[in-house]
Structures are given as C-alpha cells and as structure tokens.
C-alpha cells in the first residue's frame, strides 16, 4: 500500500511526527504551506491562526507536488487550532477532492492541551467518511517529548502497518 503523509506544521511539532512516520513506514512526505504565512510569534500567532480556523478559511497554498493516482492511502497531519482543522489542510482537501476520492485515510493531530478529538471529527466530516484507518493525538511532541507520545506513535504506526 502506497501512502502519502500530507501535513502542515507551524512550529515543528507536526513536522517532527510526520518525519518519524515517513522514516518508519517509507511513506512519501508532502508538506503544504499557505502562500501567505500565518504569524508564528506572540499573540498574533493565536489571533490570526485562530480566527482563520474559526472562519473555516481555505487559504491558497504554495505549489506542491501531489499525484493522487500514486497512493492508496493518505495520512493527514496538522496542529489543532481552536479545536478545528487547520486551514491549509482544508485548502488541500478542497483542491484535491477528486484525486483523493475513494482512498483510505488516517490522521494525527498535535495539540498543546485539548480539542484534538473534536478536530478529528471535523476532519472526518470534511472528508465525508465514517472511519479513519488510524487516528492519534500528540501533545507538543517535539517541544515536550514524553513516553505517552512515544506510545501513541507506536500505536498509530501499528494500525497503519496492518
């Protein structure tokens, strides 16, 4: 089964898990970024990103390479923003509706505290699917490494490798 990991990371936590996952599974990494970067410092970081997520925005993305016909499954990875799907992921899904139709999906999200479950449910609704192959929540895994994050990583890989 050929897998693409499509991820957005503002501060590196999601990127850290995406990288480890690619190393472990051999999946292709596809990093997406908005054309206009969100502020990533101070209060603006939360104001602009949070507002964009709450308004369900789908900002234009920088060019990336993705050929849906090459993959059977797609793993989405992104940070939880205001308990919502991070806007660049929404953009990717809107831009690739046809190319990703009928694939299997998995998801991991990174959060600082809570909202991950809501966020995963919102992604499920956005994709119009009943169930993910695997779904996992990490707590700032790069900034705060923990046994719990490692356990969750192994569990997530185990489900993907089935």
Give the number of other Cβ atoms within 10 Å of residue 9's Cβ. Answer: 22
50 scored as a contact of ligand FMN (CB under 6 A):
yes
45 scored as a contact of ligand FMN (CB under 6 A):
yes
The distance of closest approach from Cβ of residue 77 to ligand FMN in the complex, given in angstroms and rounded to an integer, is 8
49 scored as a contact of ligand FMN (CB under 6 A):
yes
Q: Measured between alpha carbons, how far is 146 from 27 in angstroms, rounded to an integer? A: 24
Cα 29 → chain centroid: 11
Stretch that binds ligand FMN, among 19-27, 75-83, 92-100, 126-134 (CB under 6 A): 75-83
Strand ranges across the sheet with 73-79:
28-31, 3-7, 73-79, 104-111, 135-139
The distance of closest approach from Cβ of residue 13 to ligand FMN in the complex, given in angstroms and rounded to an integer, is 3
Nearest residue to ligand FMN on Cβ basis: 49
Q: Which tokens sit at 147?
A: 């046994």
63 scored as a contact of ligand FMN (CB under 6 A):
no
Could you say which of 140, 149, 156, 160 contacts ligand FMN (CB under 6 A)? 140
The distance of closest approach from Cβ of residue 31 to ligand FMN in the complex, given in angstroms and rounded to an integer, is 11
Pairs from 47-51 (Cβ < 8 Å, separation ≥ 24): 49/10, 49/81, 49/86, 49/87, 50/81, 50/82
Q: x/- site string to ligand FMN, residues 84 to 123, per CB under 6 A?
A: --------------------------xxxxxx--------
12 scored as a contact of ligand FMN (CB under 6 A):
yes
Q: Angle formed by the axes of helices 116-127 and 87-95, to 10°?
A: 10
CA contacts within 13 A on the Cβ side of 69 = 0
Residues of this chain that interact with ligand FMN (CB under 6 A) are 9-15, 45-46, 49-50, 79-83, 110-115, 140
């Amino acid at each position: 089964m050929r897998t693409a990991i499509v991820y957005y990371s503002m501060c590196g936590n999601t990127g850290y898990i995406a990288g480890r996952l690619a190393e472990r599974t051999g999946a292709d990494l596809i990093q997406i970024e908005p054309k206009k970067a969100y502020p990533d410092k101070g209060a603006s970081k939360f104001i602009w990103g949070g507002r964009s997520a709450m308004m369900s925005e789908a900002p234009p993305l920088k060019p990336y390479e993705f050929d849906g016909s090459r993959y059977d499954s797609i793993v989405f990875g992104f940070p939880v923003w205001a308990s919502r799907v991070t806007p660049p992921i929404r953009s990717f899904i809107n831009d690739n509706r046809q190319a990703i139709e009928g694939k299997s999906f998995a998801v991991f999200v990174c959060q600082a505290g809570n909202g991950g479950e809501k966020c995963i449910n919102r992604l499920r609704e956005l994709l119009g699917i009943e169930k993910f192959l695997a779904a996992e929540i990490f707590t700032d895994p790069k900034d705060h490494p923990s046994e719990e994050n490692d356990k969750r990583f192994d569990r997530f890989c185990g489900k993907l490798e089935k």
